[in-house]
């Protein structure tokens, strides 16, 4: 198994980025009656190699630019293997005091990176979705004592869907959610927020929480965090920042200048499996006062009496939703120890700069138009054929076909998203193994696919007329 992993890390850049097998074909290969008797593990491994590992989207491939890539590192993968093999229960101090201390110190490093006060604390969770759910659960408890009647939450239309999902899970309905149209830079408009809050106050509602973005999934945009925190403080609103994608960029100079004000949040989601090069799953929630976590989640079932702790030691099962939890802190702790945080800073900055390089190349191209500039490693654009009279829906169609062609081709993978009424191509360049040559070749391919699609569409139109 270790050999397979080593081989994967050494050769992933030579493999196709995307998957090829159709689901029906896979079903035929993998759907079988439950085995009554065991077979040799080598045979099972071979099946895995043939049907599963050879057929995945490689999120850690240097030319995987789609969604949010996850360029995990080998130390992280090995640490996860250890945590799983040792089967460490990271829920209670008594069960694994060293694991608890490692989680505490790693969380404290993240707290320092994000500039939160020493009273802050947090925990590792599976990812951004769980971090947002956990953070908003804390907000509901601390700000509202769990009474959500008339309470209202505010966020921009660029906010990740996991926030709305969390609100529904927590019992809010859509009348309690104010999804405000973002401005021309895809950021929350503070003036609109103020208007909405005052309107709600006037109507007898209970404005309670603002969710701000520190790097949106669509464009990497950062909401005006300082202004938002000023306003939230003034009117007593909770400020949850979704930094699942972008918050870790605060480590490097480019990111720091964008993320001013992050340190004033009440709660913050931050995903090490996105920007800190960790294997899935590794998300993290930080809150301004660590006691808030215990106030929200602590319970005392009689069957856990033997694990109750006095004094300073903590049981992480009192700090979040899960009782049984794996030792997720280990991989980040080991990676930071082995590589040193300076290497992380460099790697993050490199990803941000690479998106800026893409932007320069696109601006120099006569057939591509930048839709949102490079921000925290994300850029969006459209292929617009030269001297053509295509309508916007036709341009959208050409761009969606480019995505399909790129995926089929397997050299590089991009994803699309919708910005206003445009279907845009989106590149997220956060893999430190990506080279400028990778970028140039990808854009070259993309333009040639665009040319083909444009001429196909043109020919269809001519035939029709």
Ligand X SMILES: Cc1ncc(COP(=O)(O)O)c(C=O)c1O
Q: Which residues bind ligand X (CB under 6 A)?
A: 68, 127-129, 160, 162, 217, 242, 244-245, 271, 283
Look at phi and psi of residue 310 and say left if phi exceeds 0, alpha if psi is from -120 to 50, else beta.
beta
Residue 152 vs 166, nearer CB to ligand X: 166
Q: How far is the CB of 465 from ligand X (least distance, A)?
A: 43
**What is the tally of helices (H) and strands (E) in the chain?**
16, 11
Residue 180 vs 443, nearer CB to ligand X: 180
Distances (CA, A) of 183 to 158, 187, 191, 268: 10, 5, 11, 23
Q: How far is the CB of 241 from ligand X (least distance, A)?
A: 10
Q: How far is the CB of 78 from ligand X (least distance, A)?
A: 21
Residue 100 vs 431, nearer CB to ligand X: 431
Q: Which residue has the tokens 């008594």?
A: 94
Tokens of 448: 């040639």
Residue 263 vs 271, nearer CB to ligand X: 271
CB atoms near residue 315 (< 10 Å): 20
Q: How far is the CB of 417 from ligand X (least distance, A)?
A: 11
Residue 68 vs 358, nearer CB to ligand X: 68
Distances (CA, A) of 266 to 156, 168, 343, 351: 18, 21, 29, 28
Q: How far is the CB of 245 from ligand X (least distance, A)?
A: 4
Q: Which residues contact 147 (CB under 8 A, 6 or more apart)?
A: none
Q: How far is CA 194 from the centre of its chain?
A: 28
Nearest to 398 by CA among 362, 359, 451: 451
Alpha-carbon distance of 242 to 40, in angstroms, equals 46
Residue 244 vs 423, nearer CB to ligand X: 244
Alpha-carbon distance of 120 to 287, in angstroms, equals 6
Q: How far is the CB of 259 from ligand X (least distance, A)?
A: 13
Residue 269 vs 442, nearer CB to ligand X: 269
Contact assessment for residue 361 and residue 440, using Cβ atoms and an 8 Å cutoff: yes
CA angle 82, 132, 81 (to 5 degrees): 10
Q: How far is the CB of 246 from ligand X (least distance, A)?
A: 7
Q: How far is the CB of 310 from ligand X (least distance, A)?
A: 35
Residue 238 vs 245, nearer CB to ligand X: 245
For every residue of 210-275, DSSP letters joined together read EEEEBS-TTT--B--HHHHHHHHHHHT-EEEEEETTTGGGGGSHHHHHH-TTGGG-SEEEE-HHHH
């Amino acid at each position: 198994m270790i050999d397979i992993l080593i081989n994967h890390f050494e050769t992933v850049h030579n493999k196709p980025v995307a998957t090829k097998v159709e689901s029906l074909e896979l079903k035929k290969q993998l759907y079988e009656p439950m085995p009554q008797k065991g077979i040799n593990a080598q045979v099972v491994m071979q099946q895995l190699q043939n049907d599963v590992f050879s057929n995945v989207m490689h999120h850690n491939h240097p030319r995987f630019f789609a969604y949010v890539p996850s360029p995990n590192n080998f130390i992280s993968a090995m640490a996860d293997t250890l945590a799983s093999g040792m089967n460490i229960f990271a829920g209670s101090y008594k069960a694994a005091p060293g694991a608890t201390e490692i989680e505490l110190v790693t969380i404290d490093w993240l707290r320092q990176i994000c500039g939160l006060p020493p009273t802050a604390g947090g925990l590792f969770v599976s990812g951004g979705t769980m971090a947002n759910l956990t953070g908003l659960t804390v907000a509901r408890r601390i700000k509202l004592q769990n009474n959500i009647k008339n309470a209202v939450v505010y966020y921009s239309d660029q906010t990740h869907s996991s926030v709305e999902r969390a609100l529904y899970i927590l019992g809010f309905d859509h009348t309690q959610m104010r999804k405000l149209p973002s401005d021309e830079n895809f950021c929350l408009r503070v003036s609109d927020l103020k208007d909405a809050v005052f309107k709600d106050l006037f109507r007898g509602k209970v404005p309670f929480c603002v969710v701000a973005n520190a790097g949106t999934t669509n464009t990497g945009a950062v909401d005006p965090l300082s202004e938002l925190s000023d306003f939230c403080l003034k009117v007593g609103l909770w400020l949850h920042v979704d930094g699942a994608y972008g918050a870790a960029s605060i480590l490097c100079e480019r990111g720091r200048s964008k993320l001013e004000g992050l340190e004033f949040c009440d709660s913050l989601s931050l995903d090490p499996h996105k920007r800190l090069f960790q294997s899935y799953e590794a998300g993290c929630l930080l809150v301004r006062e660590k006691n808030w976590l215990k106030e929200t989640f602590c319970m005392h079932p009689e069957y856990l009496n033997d694990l109750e702790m006095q004094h300073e030691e903590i049981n992480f099962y009192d700090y979040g939703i899960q009782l049984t939890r794996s030792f997720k802190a280990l991989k980040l702790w080991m990676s930071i120890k082995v590589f040193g945080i300076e290497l992380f800073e460099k790697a993050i900055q490199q990803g941000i700069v690479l998106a800026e390089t893409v932007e320069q190349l696109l601006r120099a191209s006569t057939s591509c138009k930048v839709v949102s500039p490079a921000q925290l490693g994300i850029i969006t654009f459209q292929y617009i054929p030269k001297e053509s009279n295509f309508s916007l829906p036709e341009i959208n169609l050409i761009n969606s076909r480019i995505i399909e062609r790129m995926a089929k081709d397997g050299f590089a993978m991009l994803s699309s998203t919708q910005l206003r009424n445009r279907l845009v191509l989106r590149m997220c360049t956060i893999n430190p193994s990506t080279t400028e040559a990778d970028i140039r070749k990808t854009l070259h391919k993309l333009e040639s696919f665009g040319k083909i699609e444009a001429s196909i569409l043109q020919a269809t139109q001519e035939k029709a007329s």
